[in-house]
Structure 1
Amino acid sequence: MPQQHRIILLFLILLNLCSSGIIAKEKIPSKKEITVLAKAACKYMKEDKFEKSLVTSRIALRYAIAIKDDNLIATIYNTIGANFDEMSEFDKAFFYYNKGLVYANKTNNYQLRNWLYNNLGNIYCFDKKQYEKGIFCYKKSLEYSTKIKDISQIVFTNLNIAWAYFDIGRFDEGYAYLQFINKHHKKYGDESTIVALNMLNGMYYGHKMDTGKANLFFENAIRIGRKGQEKSDLSFSHLEYSKFLLKNGQYQKAYENLANYNAITAELNNEEKLKKANVAGINLELDQYKREIDTIENKYQTNQQILIERQYKNKQISVIIIASLLLVIILFYFFFQNTRLKQNNKLKDIQSKIQENIINASINGQETERKKIASFLHDNISALLSSAGLHLTVFTSQNQSPPQEIVKTKSLLKEAHDKVRDLSHELMPTLLARFGLFYALEDLCEKNSNSAIDFKYSSALTIKTRYNEDFEMKIYFIITELLNNITKHSQASKGTVIVQETNKSLQIEIIDNGKGFDTDKFELLEGFGLNQIQARINNLQGTFTINSKLDSGTLVSILVPVVH
């Protein structure tokens, strides 16, 4: 055990012995000495030494209660609450902030009331999602910071109120507070809130559909946030910006900002897990202190009881207690390990599912946009170009010698019409839409064949077999991606696509005679898009396996339930 822990343990033992009347009553420190202890606890908390801060706070609180100093009691409760707040133990933090507020209300310390109400407002808004209560606390905080004329704290509290209102879509109610921050932040604000201020302005102008200003403020928030240390504000900026971009139809940029938000949030969650792991370690260590204190007290009491009890009886009691304690510790250890293992497995499953859902959402969005764009090109642009070409054809037929410009224009319109048609077919193949999956796959193999590689299509199913349109589209693009991988990476000369239907499931095998790869390094092949293909097949509730060896080709097997 570290030396400082032994000193704390000895001090706590002395306190317990004093309180039980075993040794002489201790001398209560002066108010000045207790204040020094309270400040030390606050300093330890700011240095992330939560264990030392909590132990020191507990000692200071005991003395503060002994001298009945409401101001000191409230201050120490605020420090204890802040420790738990930093450790993300929000229920405990909420409890101690409320206890501190009870004592603070008995004093004239408006600054302390301001801190406590602001801390409670944060928990109500960001943890409990009880915005009305949170806004009430923030306004009480604003009332007390106004009484002490702390303009920096006033600016900070106005920012919290504006954020709370904007978070629940009540922009008109929050705008007055945003105006106050914009007016005074430059002089009285600080760098830690500049990202949040830009984000709030972006949210407001986005709500007012002022796209130019909204983009400017959101991009400022992200640019400044990347240079700073406050990751949470940066993550919220990416999230709110993605919502604004999505509402304005900028899907690619919205997706990029959402991806940034997810990445930063994952980092924050990892930091949170580490912090919680440290908290668990602190709690276990404090329990160890308590057990050691109890053991010392039990030994002391046993020595006193030797005078009045027989030695044999005492030994029996000691053996039973020790055996029971060991049994409890062993059972608790196994229970704790089992619980932690289950939680870790559950967390991994959830993370994997979330990642898969994100990939599928992105893919579904892309496929939907493919259909929309292809339909628009075919039904609108292509039709307009055809109509324009038809008018020019009529004009040229009525004029024996039409101007050269008309002839060239007619030629350009035909070329544009052909390119639009080809692009439409590339986005959503006509054969797939009109004749079904098997016509499209046969055509796909033919199109991908060239002098370097020959693709063959084989199936015992009738080529006129049709399935659900969405199902066919997903299968088509999965096979397209796999054929592209073969063409780009395999160095194969032959490839085969085999399709069968077995037990209401579609069985697809894609074989090539290329260079193959080591399947033990499957996780390193993200460049092949296999993760996205796996996510697509999982979304179809199918299975996806790869069998490959170096210089021996590759076999990809897919089995998915048929959707008619």
Structure 2
Amino acid sequence: MSDLKKILVWMLLLPLLGYAQQVSERKSIEEQINKAGNYFNQGDYARALEMSKVALKRSYKINDDYCLAHAYNAIGVVYDEFSEAKYALSFYNKALEHALKIENDSLKDWIYSNLGSVYYFNKIDVKKGIDYYKKALVYAQKINDSTQITFGKLNLASAYISINDFKNGVAYLKDSESFVKRRGIPEMRFTFTSLSGIYNTHIEKPELALKLYDQAVAIAEKYKLESFLVNAYDNIAEHYKVYEQFDLEKQYRAKSKALRNELYSQEEKAMLNQSATQIQMDEYKIQLDRIELENEKQLQKLQESKTVLWLGLVLGLALLILVFTLYRTNRFRQKANADLLLANQELKAAKEKAEEASQLKTQFVSTITHELRTPLYGVVGITDMLADEHPELKDSSHLNSLKFSARYLLSLVNDILQLNKIEEKKINLEKVPFVLTDEIEIIRNSVQYIATNNNNELIINIDQNIPARLLGDKLRLSQIIMNLTSNALKFTRDGWVKVEAKLKDVRGSVYEIQFSVQDNGVGISPNDQSKIFDMFVQVGRSDEDYQGTGLGLAIVQKLVTLFGGHIHLESSLGKGTTFTFCIGFEKSEQEILVTPTQTSYSDLVHNKILIVEDNKINQLVTQKIMDKHHMQCDIVADGFEALKIVETRSYDVILMDINMPGMNGYETTKRLRAIGIKTPIIALTAFDKDEVKSEVYASGMNDIMIKPFEANQLFEVIQKQLIEVN
């Protein structure tokens, strides 16, 4: 549908014409049509169509051509919005038939413009659409309405440009420029900006074209012009297609399709077909009523005439034909309703099945990650215990391989869980203040060992124009840069890897920062570049390289998309690879408090710890951690034993497993709090933190530790809880 059509359809009431006895009814019908227009602009197409249908019936009753034209035009707009060209043309032509019977140039302007849009936007006959647009422009100039004239010129510009007639298209575009800049409403400014962008794509000015497209998107988003936004995404996709940037084209095609499906559901389209049939039935019924009325009049006039019988037979036959037609139409409607009901039931069943499958998938991922983390806690812990108890094994390749394998498996489990959370849209970006240079420095320290092992130089460049403190999700940003940097170091030897952050643009309070990670390593072949962001895909691996799952870049792409950005890849075999992406952050005015790193936990010695854990291996591991730091601890295997032991002994901290047989950690904690135990309780669990935190805190626990964990992390949480209690 035309970007301008909505503006041309639902106009204020025109001067009322007609007979004096019809003025009140006409005014009421006009108010009803304008109310339908308000529902249309709000996206409530079902109510807009229903109200327009009622207005059409009322218009037939008073036999008013103006109201009939206006009502048919309003109905046609709804079908045109859903690209139902066949029905839209039918209703617009009926509107024009009634409009040509009266003197109302504004109404003719609207209808001709709408007819042009159907032929143009549905690609039925663009040249015929241009002819209708020109007829509409003649009427707009006749009534000397500057707004309508500008809309007409923009419509013609759009149609000419669509068939690559840029000479005529640009001429109409320039004619409308002055009015758009002085008095243009948002829809008008959006159309002018979009067409300007298409023209600049054509004359090979891609940077200016993209800037204009971004302005058009901003207008649509600011004024909530969602159907306009669909056109904006299509224009951007076409732009990237011209410049053979097919990945970006694919992204914007997907965004356009998703928004279009959201705006125009299949259920609403089915409703339109049903309504079209109902309108036809109403028309037949109105015609039947008129024939019956005429029949009665004729019978009264000709009851003494010999021709009465013949006239009755003729009218009766016509009546029978109409009744039969009405009957067939009604049968067709009933069948259509039955088919629609069946289709809706099938859609509902498919939706429920898909939701059930999604829920089962989420439950499976949660369960399998929990079941893997629990034994991994034991493997990592026992490996540390062996290294402590047998110093001679500290440098054992077998022991180090065991610990590495456990941590590698844990990393894989975390990656799978993260991907599932992103796909289920369970990740919300946080807004916290952070210092970009500090986060990059932490990443540098974390990956320096990879750089050293591969004899690489790690270069960091941060634009000084970037604000010192930013506001955003630093954890997700660090994860993106960490994955890209470690990947670059892994596939580069005796070379360099450069991490850069540059200020690209400032829009209001948002600072657009362009990040890039570049290396001079092995590079990626053109055949592999199209699949590099797919899950479980690995390229460029050598025989001795056994690390990596192929999930890192998939996570990177999904996180960048979550930020509202796009990641771009440039690579050549033997020359290196560059990943580039842009993310916008607000400037933070808050001071960032730096908490000193805790390196000694000597003040925790001799604290009494109660461990509530049913897994024997995990009991052993946790107890050894406590013993190593000279803490006194008791171990119980379930919640019932925990309730019993606290009656005779007191503890400084309770470490509580969540998933236990008999009585889980939540219920145990609730009962401990109920009997007055105020000791800090820390949940130890292999579930993801986001899955359990609400229930953990609701049960009365004070903090959470996710297994497996480093001993220092546990001691830091214990010390924090002891400080808060004291």
TM-score (norm: length of structure 2): 0.38
Higher helix share: 1
